[in-house]
Amino acid sequence: MDARHTEDASKALTVLAAASSPRDTAAPGWAWRTAMEAVAIPVGAVVVSLVLFGVFCATQGANPLAVFQAIYKAAFGSWYSFQNTLVRAAPLMLTALCTALPARLGLIVIGNEGALVIGGVSAVAAGLAVASAPPVVAMAAMALAGMIGGGLWIAAVGWLHYRRTVNETISSLLMNYIAIALLNHLVNGPMRDPSSLNKPSSFPIKEENMLPTLGSSNIHFGLIFGIIACLIVWILMEHTTFGFKARIIGGNIRAARMAGLSVATIGLVTCFLAGASAGLAGMVEVAAVHGRANESLAAGYGYAGILVAFVARHRGLPVILTAVLLGGILASGGILQRQFKLPDATILVFQGLVFLVILFSDSLYGKFKVFKGAQA
Amino acid sequence: MINSNTESIGWWGVALGIAAGAVRGGTPFLLVSLGECLTEKSGKINLGLEGTLLMGAMTAYAISYKAGNPWAGVAAAAGAGALLGAIHALLVSRPKVNDIAAGIAMLIFGSGVAFYFGKPFIQPSAPQLAPIALGSWSTSQPVQAALKISPLFFLGVSMALFLNWFFRSTRWGMRVRAVGDAPAAARAMGISVGRTRFFSIVAGSALAGIGGAHLSLFYPGAWTEAISSGQGLMAVALVIFARWNPIHCLYASLVFGGAQAVGPALQAIGISSGYYLWNASPYILTLLVMILTCSPKRTLIGAPGALGSGA
């Protein structure tokens, strides 16, 4: 690439940067009004879906207010239940990033469940291979293996997209099924612990190599991993040139190509990081919860992570909060069943409602005068 | 039933098992992919047909149980599918709503509602659709069993022929294609893009609902939460494979149904190694097909022009 070309490219980037925030300079009050809109619309959508869910509960003969109170108590009511919520939030944060990161590039990747499973299996394999190493080394090896396994899994999705224009949504979804079949094959065959009769499983990870809990709580280290990963993604995507380039690609891929951005490289790196997060979730699940690989790995955290990413509008920081909220809702499934005789699918209905209303609310941006400022 | 019979006739049993599986397991693929084909011809994608399939399976089983008539169940499944389709259609008609994301939401919502209302129907047994027996010419039991064919398969085949004629030779079919290929031009001709898409999505979802009825009322023939194994999702890939041609959807569905039956057919003659990997064969096949048919150098032949463009 000669000097002139580079100059052209940087000029194009400047133009793009200016174009991406046209009103920043035009109206002084615009920035905070947009920020207000970005908070008010998702919060409003969640409130609307709560009302709809309340109506649904009422038609099913359960008092909505009592249901909400029970969900609140089961999720955040006591230190014990809040710990339970946080334990569920940890994998949700990590799997949500698997959708959130590529979404900034304009890719809808929903291979979270598959990357989690592959990450979990890789972590177990690594944990068994270095069983005699010091615990810290073994844990690091498991985390690394989980991240590489999951990362390559989703990087393959990205590669197929950029190389062969294979639709990333469909391919990542198919790979979920392939990952689960692979898990079943491994725990029923090559990796099977003969003593696991009812639920075919791999050999267990050594007790001292399991991830420790934080202090005297039940919360394991996975929560720290989740929060750190979300913070890293937040900084990477919102405050670095890499993130800026990724957002340009997501905004207008042709303009990004014209500006000389290496679209495929940025895309592959982002997909790898996305898969690595979900793979780490798999490692956390085996190394802190199950202790071995079996079908419990595919417990739906991947699919719930898609919802978290969309509600958080694919931003790192809101993912943390959304994951805690959804973790609380998942934790309350049992109480709805025991106290109100509502089937466990109630939580799934609620998730679907939230998702539908959130998507509907996407079409409302820019429709409210309050958020536009005087000159708009 | 078929598995135990195949044992006696060895490798012929494997071939027969796969052929029977192609028709039996291919029927839901056929109905769902025709529904997806109709939807995509109008320029929108419905990834939520998996939820529609589950909803159809649950509704069909519940109504068949309550009314004592499986055909009432099939009709109700079509209605439930149309209802979910209407929600999807209203959502994707809004500006800035991505149809893929809407599909994922409908997938979660549809399966949630199906599992919620399906809970009481997991135990009781509902009247099943009577098979159409084409095997009376044969004295061999396995052949007779394999040729007991779902009436919904014939419905699917006639739908494939009908849709083929519909897209080629009818005014309404032309309108759907115009809306899917060039919405702006269609609008200029006075065709209502919104209404055409709404009806295409609703009708497509109704077909997917009937596909669900096949699952719960014929094969496997019971309502469980694990009854669908991704047929609704794979339909999207299958339609790409079939190049948006209803007749090719029929062939593709048979291939996918057959691929699903390979693992069980091999297990029936005692080959169980790699059983779980064989279960993944339809998904691997779909992925391979997509890798081979997609290319950055050309757009896909037969793809509706406005598909996935948000227009």
ipTM for this prediction: 0.90
Comparing alpha-carbon positions, the chain B residue that sits nearest to A343 is B116
Handedness of CA A178, A184, A188, A192 (dihedral sign): positive
Q: Would residue A342 be called left, alpha or beta, if left means φ above 0 and alpha means ψ between -120 and 50 degrees? A: beta
pLDDT tens sequence across A312-332? 989 999 999 999 999 999 998
Q: Residue A193 corresponds to which tokens in the numbers above? A: 């612990």
- The C-alpha of B183 sits at a distance from chain A's nearest C-alpha, in angstroms, of 20
Residue B48 in contact with residue B104, Cβ under 8 Å? yes
Per-residue pLDDT tens over the stretch A331-357: 988 888 899 989 989 999 999 999 999
* Chain B residues touching residue A189 (CB < 8 angstroms): 273, 276
Size of interface A-B (CB pairs under 8 A): 134
Indicate yes or no: CB of A352 within 8 angstroms of CB of B112.
yes
Model pLDDT, residue A23? 45
Contacts of A162 (CB under 8 A, 6+ apart): A263, A264, A267, A268
For B112, the closest of A110, A169, A351 (CB atoms) is A351
Contact between chains at A164 and B111 (C-beta distance less than 8 A): no
The residue assigned the tokens 């047929």 is B231
Report yes or no: A229 and A143 within 8 Å, Cβ to Cβ: no
* Maximum Cα interatomic distance, chain A, rounded to a whole number of Å: 72
Task: Give me the mean pLDDT over the B247-264 stretch.
Answer: 91
Angle subtended by helix axes A316-331 and A346-362, to nearest 10: 150
Q: What is the pLDDT of residues A199-222, one digit of tens each?
A: 899 999 999 999 999 988 999 999
Chain B closest-CA separation from residue A213 CA (Å): 32
pLDDT at position A373: 60
Is residue B297 within 8 A of residue A166, CB to CB? The reply is no
Q: Which of residues 148-177 of B touch A (CB under 8 A)?
A: none
- Express each pLDDT in A352-371 by its tens digit: 999 999 999 988 988 887 77
List A residues 149-178 in contact with B (Cβ-Cβ < 8 A).
160, 163-167, 169-171, 173-175, 177-178
Query: What pLDDT shows up at residue B262?
Result: 86
Give the pLDDT confidence of A32-59 residue by residue, as tens digits.
888 888 888 888 998 999 999 999 999 9
Q: Which residues of A touch B287 (CB under 8 A)?
A: 171, 174-175, 178
Give 3-state DSSP helix, strand, coil % of chain A, rounded to 5: 75, 0, 25
Q: How far is CA A176 from the centre of its chain?
A: 15
Neighbours of A41 (CB within 10 A): 19
- Dist CA A74 CA A81 (whole Å): 6
pLDDT score at A213: 92
- A182 vs B contacts (CB less than 8 Å): 276-277, 280
Q: What is the pLDDT of residues A101-117, one digit of tens each?
A: 999 999 999 999 999 99
Query: Residue B162 is encoded by which pair of tokens?
Result: 């009908």
B96 to A310: CB separation less than 8 angstroms, yes or no = no
Inter-chain CB proximity A174 and B47 less than 8 Å: no
Q: Lowest mean pLDDT: which of A231-235, A335-339, B61-65?
A: A335-339
CA distance B47 to chain A (A): 9
CA angle B252, B256, B260 (to 5 degrees): 170
Residues of chain B neighbouring A293 (CB-CB closer than 8 A): none
Which residues fall within 8 angstroms of residue B120, CB to CB, at 6 or more apart?
none
How far is Cα A191 from Cα A180, in angstroms, rounded to an integer? 14
Average pLDDT score, chain A: 89
Length of chain B: 311
Residues A291/A222/A103/A275 CA torsion (nearest 10 deg) = -40
Candidates B105, B115, B275; nearest CB to A359:
B105
Does A251 contact chain B (CB < 8 Å)? no
**Contact present, A287 and A120 (Cβ < 8 Å):** no
DSSP bridge pairs for A220: A213
DSSP state of A374: T
Please classify residue B277 by burial: count the beta carbons closer than 10 Å to its beta carbon, then call 0-12 exposed, 13-18 middle and 19+ buried.
middle
Distance CA(A109)–CA(A91), nearest Å, equals 17
One-letter identity of residue B260: Q
A105, A178 in Cβ contact below 8 A? no
Q: With an 8 Å Cβ cutoff, are A181 and B110 in contact?
A: no
CB B102 within 8 A of CB B227: no
Where are any strands of DSSP class E within B181-306?
Answer: none
Q: Examine the pLDDT at B79 and tell me if it is beyond 80.
A: yes
CB contact under 8 A, A356 and B105: yes
Mean of pLDDT values over B58-66: 96
β-pair type (B148-149, B132-133): antiparallel
- Beta bridge pairs of residue A202: A192
pLDDT of A22 higher than 50: no
As a 3-state breakdown, chain B gives helix, strand, coil percent values, each rounded to 5, of 70, 0, 25
CB contact B123 to A (< 8 Å): no
Q: Which two tokens stand for residue A251?
A: 């905004």
Nearest CA among B89, B26, B40 for reference residue B240: B40
A182 lies within 8 A of chain B by CB: yes
pLDDT given at position B299: 66
Nearest to A155 by CA among A28, A61, A265: A265
Q: For residue B220, is the peptide bond before it cis, meaning its omega torsion is within 30 degrees of 0?
A: yes
DSSP-assigned letter for residue B8: G
- Its pTM stands at 0.88
pLDDT digits (tens, 9 = 90+) for B146-162: 888 999 999 999 999 99
Q: B169 pLDDT exceeds 70?
A: yes
B95·A184 Cβ contact <8 A? no
A282 contacts A299 by C-beta, under 8 angstroms: no
Highest mean pLDDT among A207-216, B275-284, B288-297: A207-216
Min CA distance, A336 vs chain B (Å)?
A: 13
Interior angle at CA B212, CA B90 and CA B127, nearest 5: 130
| Least-confidence region, from A77-86, A265-274, B176-185, B232-241 | B232-241
Q: Token match 């497509």: residue? A: B204
Q: What is the C-alpha to C-alpha distance for residues B221 and B57, in angstroms, rounded to an integer?
A: 10
Mean pLDDT of chain B: 90
> Where in chain A are the domains?
94-300
Q: What pLDDT, on a 0 to 100 scale, did the predictor assign at position A360?
A: 93
**Given CA atoms B136, B137, B140, B145 in this order, what sign does their dihedral have?**
negative
Q: Is B98 on the interface with A (CB under 8 A)?
A: yes
- Report CB contact under 8 Å: A164, B116: no
Task: Please enumerate in sequence order all residues whose Cβ is within 8 A of that of A108, keeping only pairs 6 or more positions apart, or say none.
Answer: A99, A102, A168, A169, B98, B100, B101, B104
